[in-house]
A and B are shown apart, each in its own frame.
Chain A
C-alpha cells in the first residue's frame, strides 16, 4: 500500500480549494469534488472536524482538534505523551475509532428525559481508552453540553500533600490542592455556563461567608478557588447543583460527566492518616461526592467513564476487565452500564497511524520506511497504540 504524496505544485491548488469548505455536515457536494482530488493526500486524514458528523467511513482517519477547543476543553484532560506530541507536530489529531463512534451514536439517539446512561471504556493497557473518552467529550462539547471532566481519578487517591479534616463532616477528609486545581480547570472549560446557571440552595462556608440562593454558579466556583480551605466542599456543592438541575424544564443544558480511571473510586488509596492507618476512598470528600454523581440518578445527560490499570493501586498487572478493576463494590454501584471494549489497532487503523507518522516526519530511520521495517514494527508493537508510539519515538 505505497501511497505517493501529491507533487508540490498540485498541493497548492488543493490547499486553495480547501478554503472553500464551510463548517457543518452539509458540505457533501463541494466535498465530493475536493475529496476525490485530494484522495491520495488524505486517506489517513479527514477534514471533518465536527465529531457529530463522523461515521463508519471515517474509521481509521485522523481528524484535527481545533486549537481553541484544546485550550478550553482539555486544560487537564489529555495524556502527557499526547500533549508532547501535540506540541511537536503543531497540531492535535485524534483517530476516529469504532468504540468512540459507538458511544457517540448512542449519545445522539438517547432519550434525555430518562436517567443518564453509563458508558465504560475498557481494554488492555495502551489501547486508546483515554483518547476515545476525549473524542466523546469533544462531541459533547461541540453539542453545547456542560462537561464535567475528571482526567484521572487516581490522583485524588494517591500522593496527597495536604489532607485536612473536612469542615462539613468530621469523619471525612478534604484535599484542598486537588480540589482547587480541578475547579480552575472546570472554570476554563465551562466558562459560558458559569454565568447562566443559578444555584438553588444556600451554602454557608464559615460564620461570615455564605453563598446565597439564586447567585450564579461562577461565584460559587470562584469562592472555591479563592478560599482554598473549603474548596472540596465547593466541588461537592457544584456537583450537587448540576446533578439536580440538569434535564429540568427550567435549565437548558445537558450534563456530561467524564471520568477517566473510574476504578480509583472503589479501590484502595495510599494516603495515610496521622496514625499511619490507610484512608478509605469513601472517607475523602471528593471521592464521596463523585460516587454520588456516578449513581446517575440525574436526567438529561450521560456518564462516560474509562477503567484503566495505569496508575491504579494494588491491582494485579493482568487485570483489565471491568469486573477485575472495579471490584465487587464498584461493579455493583456501576451496574447497569454499557461496557465498550477498546481493542488494539486493526490493520487499517495501523496503516493509517503509520502514514500519519510518515506525513508528520516522525518516522526518520530510513529502514522504518521500508516494508521490512513496517513488518518489524507490527511485530514489536503488536499493533498496540501506545507501544507503537513509543517505538516510533526513537526510530
Chain B
C-alpha cells in the first residue's frame, strides 16, 4: 500500500534522520554500489537513466548495507549463505568459517589435481565457487509440500516453489545437516567442505533429503488439485 502512495508523497525529510535501518520511507532511493556505473560518460546514458540521475540529486538515498561491496569478488549467493549461518550477529566469525571452507575445498581439489596424471587433470574442478554454486543447485528441491486443510483433515499437497524459497531450503538443509549430523569434534569448515563436495557429486545426506521430499510430493500427486493458487 505504501508503494502506491509513493507517487503522492511530497518532498519530505524527517526531523530525526534514520540511518542504517531496513525499513525506509519509500521516498528514499536505492544506492548504486557498482563502480562501472560511475565511470560511464554522459553520452552513454539513455533518457530514463538521465532522469534517474537528476532524481538522485534531490531525493535522499538509503544507506548501503555493510555486506554489499563494490569489490569484484562480491558474490550475493555466498553473502546469503553467510547470513544464514550467522548466529547472534557475529558476521566476522562466519565470514572466517566461509573463507576456511572455500580454502579447504580448493586445497583438496588442487592437491588431487597436482597428483593426478596429465590426462585426468582436465576433469578435476578446482574452483571452490563453481563447486559451491553447483552443490547448491543440486540441493535445491523442485517441488515442495504445503499443508492444506480440506474437510477437517490436513493434506500434504505438492506445490511449485519460488526461487528464493528453493534457495532458502537448500541452504537451510546444508547448514542443519552440518550442525547436527556430524561428529561433535569436527570444525564447521571441515564438515561443510565435506558435505559440499558430496552434494556436488550428487551424494550425501542433503541430496537424500531433497530426493525424499520429491518422493513425498510424487506420492501425494493425487491431492495436487487441492491447491487453488
- The answer, yes or no, to whether B177 is at the interface (CB within 8 Å) is no
Q: Which residue of chain A has the shortest Cβ distance to B118 in the bound complex?
A: A8
Q: B114 an interface residue at 8 Å Cβ cutoff?
A: yes
Q: Is the CB of A367 within 8 A of B126?
A: no
Tell me if B's interface is mostly helix, strand, loop or mixed: helix
Q: Are A361 and B126 touching (Cβ within 8 A)?
A: yes
Total contacting residues, chain B, CB less than 8 A: 19
Cβ of A370 < 8 Å from any Cβ of B?
yes
Q: Tell me the complex Cα distance, A88–B107, Å.
A: 6
Q: Check A90 against B115 for contact (C-beta < 8 Å).
A: yes
- The minimal Cβ–Cβ distance linking A337 to chain B, given in whole angstroms, is 38
Q: How far is the CA of A372 from the CA of B126 in the complex (A)?
A: 22
Q: Is the interface of A mostly helix, strand, loop or mixed?
A: helix
B91 smallest CB distance to A (angstroms)? 15
Q: Which residues of A contact B58 (CB under 8 A)?
A: none
In the complex, the chain A residue whose C-beta lies closest to that of B111 is A88
CB atoms of A362 and B127 under 8 A apart:
no
Chain B residues 70-101 with CB under 8 Å of chain A are 71-73, 98-100
Query: Judging by beta carbons under 8 Å apart, are A376 and B73 in contact?
Result: yes
Cβ of A395 within 8 Å of any chain B Cβ, yes or no, is yes
Chain B residues near A376: list those with CB within 8 A. Answer: 71-73
Tell me the complex Cα distance, A372–B73, Å: 10
Within 8 A of A (CB), among B97-121: 98-100, 102-103, 106-107, 110-111, 113-115
- B75: nearest residue on chain A (CB-CB)? A365
Q: Is the CB of A361 within 8 A of B72?
A: no
With contacts A367-B72, A376-B72 known, is A393 near B111, CB below 8 A? Answer: no
Interface centre among B106, B115, B127, B128 (most CB of A within 10 A): B106
Which residues in A have their C-beta under 8 angstroms from that of B128?
Answer: 364, 394
Who on chain B is nearest to A372 by CB? B72
State the Cβ distance, B102 to closest chain A Cβ, in Å. 4
B73 engages A373 (CB within 8 Å):
yes
Kindly state whether residue A106 has any CB partner on chain B within 8 Å.
Answer: no
Decide: B127 and A365 in contact? CB cutoff 8 A: yes
**How distant is A293 from chain B, measured CB to nearest CB, in Å?**
38
Question: Within 8 Å CB of A367, what residues of B?
Answer: 72-73
Residue of chain A at shortest CB distance from B102: A394
Closest B residue by C-beta to A364: B127
A373–B110 Cα distance when bound, in Å, is 21
A394 touches B99 (CB 8 A): yes
Interface centre among A360, A394, A395 (most CB of B within 10 A): A394
Q: How far is the CA of A65 from the CA of B195 in the complex (A)?
A: 35
A349-395 interface with B by 8 A CB criterion: 360-362, 364-368, 370, 372-373, 376, 393-395
Task: Say whether B111 contacts A87, CB under 8 Å.
Answer: yes
Asked whether, in the complex, the Cβ of B72 is within 8 Å of the Cβ of A362, the reply is: no
Question: Is B226 positioned at the interface, with any CB of A under 8 Å from its CB?
Answer: no
Contacting pair A365 B107 (CB below 8 A)? no
Contact call B72/A373, Cβ cutoff below 8 A = yes
CB neighbors of B among A17-45 (8 A): none
- A367: nearest chain-B partner, CB-CB: B72
Tell whether B24 is near chain A: CB-to-CB under 8 Å: no
Listed A/B pairs (27) with beta-carbon separation below 8 Å: A87-B111, A88-B107, A89-B114, A90-B114, A90-B115, A360-B110, A360-B114, A361-B114, A362-B110, A364-B106, A364-B128, A364-B129, A366-B127, A367-B72, A368-B73, A370-B72, A372-B72, A373-B73, A376-B71, A376-B72, A376-B73, A393-B99, A394-B98, A394-B103, A394-B106, A394-B128, A395-B73
Binding site for B on A (CB under 8 A): 84, 87-90, 360-362, 364-368, 370, 372-373, 376, 393-395
